[in-house]
Amino acid sequence: MNILIKQAKIINKQSEFHEKVFDILIEGGIITAIKKSVSPKGNVKVIEGNDLHVSLGWVDMQSAACDPGFEHKETLETLVKSAAAGGFTSVCVHNYNQPALDNKAQIEYIVNKTQNKIVDVLPFGTITVEGKGKDLSEMFDMKSAGALAFSDYKHALKDAGMVMRALQYSANINSFIITHCDDESISHGGNINEGEISVMLGLKGIPALAEELMLQRNLAILEYAGGKMHIPTVSTKASVDLIKKAKANGLNVTCGVAAINLLLDETVLKEFDSNYKVNPPLRTKKDVQALRNAVESGVIDVIVSDHLPQDVESKELEFDLADFGIINLQTAFSCALQGMGEETISAIVEAFTTKPRDILGLNALEIKENAEANLTLFSLNEETVLNEKTNFSKSRNTPFLNQALKGKVIGVVNGWKSYFN
C-alpha cells in the first residue's frame, strides 16, 4: 500500500528536514518524495492531521515477551501488536521465558516466530545459563543465531568475576552485556523506594544505595576489563552522576531509563496500588528531575518501556506480595512526553531512535528520498487513553488504564508494512 503523509513536522536532528513541515510519499516501502506539497495519485492512503509529527521508527530496548513459557501473560503476537500501537518498529526482548533464552534454539525460536512482522523483534540472550548467574552462557552460538546482546534481565550479577568474564567474552565476539544494577543483599525484600513514603506506608524500602553501589562496582570492572556495558534502567540522581563521570573518563558505557520513572515519583504509592510497583522503583521528586535533565543532556542515552506483563494473580494481591512490573509499550511515549514536556521532543525522539540503534549496532536510518521507510507518526497535542478495547497486551497491569495521557501515536511504517491507530 502506498502512503502519503501530509504536512508532517519531521523530528530528526541528523536530517536536513529537522523541524520542517513536508509531505512524504512512500511507495512500495520506499520514501520516493519529500516535498512541500505532494498530490495523491492512484491508490494511496493519505495520513493527515493538525499536529502531525514524524520521526525515524522507535526502538524499545527493554521488553518482556513471556513467550515461550508464560503465554497467559503475553505472546510474541500480542507483544508485536502492543509495540506497533505504541509507535515502535523494533523491540528488544529480554529473558522472561521458560525455557530461558540461553541457547541457540531459543534465540532461533524468537527470530523465526517473528519474521516479516510489522515490528522487528530483537532477542537478547542471557549472560549466564538460565539467567541464574552461575555459569557463562553460549554467547557465540546465540550471537550467530541472532542475539544482539546479552542480559540476565532483572537479575543482577552478584559475582564480580562473572561480570568481568562476560565483558571480556562479549567483546571478543563484538557484542556487549546489559546488566541490571541492584545489590540484592541491600534491597532484598524491598517493595518501594526507601524513604519517608516507605516508612509512612509500613513497606520495606529499596535503598538507592542498592542501585548505586552495584553500578559503581560494575563501572569499576568495566574500567579494568574493557568491553562495552549498557545499564538498562537507572533511577537515581547519584546513578546519573556516576554514569556522567564514567563517560567523561572514556568508559564504553551507555544507559537507559524506564519511561514511568520520568513521569511519576514515589508519592503515587500512597494508595497501595500494586500497578505502581516497578523495579527499579519510583524514586523521589529530586531523582525524577535529575533523570529528565539527564535525558535532555544526553547522559541517559535511551528511554525504554520496561514492558513487563503480569497476570491478575500476580498483581491483585497485598502490595508486598505482588510482582513487580507494568505493561507500558503503548504508553511509554506519553509517559516521557508528559514527564519532560513538548520542548524536549527532539531529545525524547533521539532516545527512542538514533541512540538505541547506535548502541545495538543496527543499520542507520535516514528520512530522505530513496531510503527505506521506517517511520513513527505521532501527535504532541492529542491524548492517549488506554482502555480494555485499545489495550493489545494480554495483561492489564498498568496504572494508566482509562486515564488520559499527553501525546498520541498515529501509526508506524516499516518498509512495505504499516499500522495506524
The model's pLDDT over 48-103, given as tens digits with 9 standing for 90+, comes to 999 999 999 999 999 999 999 999 999 999 999 999 999 999 999 999 999 999 99
Task: Assign 3-state DSSP to the chain and report helix, strand, coil percentages, each to 5.
Answer: 35, 25, 40
| Contact status, residue 82 vs residue 393, Cβ threshold 8 Å | yes
Sign, CA dihedral 341-343-349-355, equals negative
> Is the pLDDT reported for residue 218 higher than 90?
yes
Share of the chain above pLDDT 90, in %: 99
> Is the pLDDT reported for residue 1 higher than 90?
no
Taken in order of first residue, the domains within the chain and their CATH numbers are: 2-53+369-383+404-420 (2.30.40.10), 57-360 (3.20.20.140)
Query: What pLDDT was estimated at residue 392?
Result: 98
Query: What pLDDT was estimated at residue 41?
Result: 82
> Is the pLDDT reported for residue 268 higher than 90?
yes
Q: Do β-strands 177-178 and 229-231 pair in parallel, antiparallel, or remain unpaired?
A: parallel
Query: Residues 306, 311, 320, 358: which is the catalytic one?
Result: 306
Query: What pLDDT was estimated at residue 42?
Result: 85
Query: What pLDDT was estimated at residue 40?
Result: 84
CA 215 → CA 178, 181, 262, 359, 364, distances in Å?
12, 5, 20, 19, 30
Kindly give the interhelix angle for 237-248 and 208-225, rounded to the nearest 10 degrees.
Answer: 10
Q: 136-151, pLDDT tens digit by residue?
A: 999 999 999 999 999 9
Out of 33-47, 153-167, 299-313, 368-382, least confident range: 33-47
- The question of whether 135 is a catalytic residue gets the answer no
Q: What are φ and ψ of residue 44, in 5° steps?
A: -140, 135
| 121 vs 2: CA distance, rounded Å | 24
Question: Rounded to 10 degrees, what is the CA torsion of 256, 394, 373, 125?
Answer: 50
Higher pLDDT, 54 or 41: 54
| 262 vs 285: CA distance, rounded Å | 10
Residue 87 in 3-state DSSP? coil
| Distant-in-sequence, close-in-space partners of 170: CB < 8 Å, separation ≥ 6 | 139, 149, 150, 176, 177, 227, 228
| 198 vs 206: CA distance, rounded Å | 9
Neighbours of 240 (CB within 10 A): 22
Share of the chain above pLDDT 70, in %: 100
| Strand ranges, E, within 81-233 | 88-94, 120-123, 150-151, 177-178, 192-193, 205-206, 229-231
> Is the pLDDT reported for residue 214 higher than 90?
yes
Q: 150-185, pLDDT tens digit by residue?
A: 999 999 999 999 999 999 999 999 999 999 999 999
Question: What's the rounded mean pLDDT across residues 28-53?
Answer: 94
